[in-house]
Amino acid sequence: MTELAGRFRSAIDALNARGLDALDELLALYDAAVVFEDPMQKIEGIEAFAELNRKMIAHARSLRFDVHEVVEQNEQLFATWTLHYAPRLGPSMKIGGATHVRVRDGRIVEHRDYWDLMSSVVDVIPGASRVYKSVMARFV
């Protein structure tokens, strides 16, 4: 495992163990002008990225990322993961996803998470999963 890949995995492990108290370890990997994007939003800058993570952690009953694979090549890092997230109110969620980051001068400058927004929402609404799968079967 390369240095950045190891530091990335260690920062996620620390976040899992200590929550907000470990957020600075994760943020230390990122450039001040980082661009973060996922299926719900696109944000720019380390302060906005930090606030996003603070809110996610603060609004959780429990939160854990299981990182499965981390591969680093040509100033890019790819990771696969499962997020186990229980908001303060509402049902727990289990979301599988992948992360692609671009690195410049040893810092993450772009971070993009890929996960299925519709399935993650539908899976926690009683009966919705059956309807969603039925609709999707018509298109596949």
Is the pLDDT score of 76 beyond 90?
A: yes
CATH number for 107: 3.10.450.50
d(CA 121, CA 70) in angstroms, rounded, equals 26
Q: Which domain holds residue 62?
A: 3-139
Please say if the pLDDT value at position 133 is more than 90.
Answer: no
Residue 112 has pLDDT above 90, yes or no: yes
pLDDT for 129 equals: 64
User: Strand ranges (DSSP E) for 7-136?
Assistant: 30-38, 41-44, 60-73, 76-87, 93-104, 107-115
Q: How many domains does the chain have?
A: 1
CA dist., res. 65 & res. 80, Å (int): 10
49, pLDDT greater than 60? yes
Please tell me the pTM assigned to this model.
Answer: 0.84
For the segment 54-58, the average pLDDT, to the nearest whole number, is 95
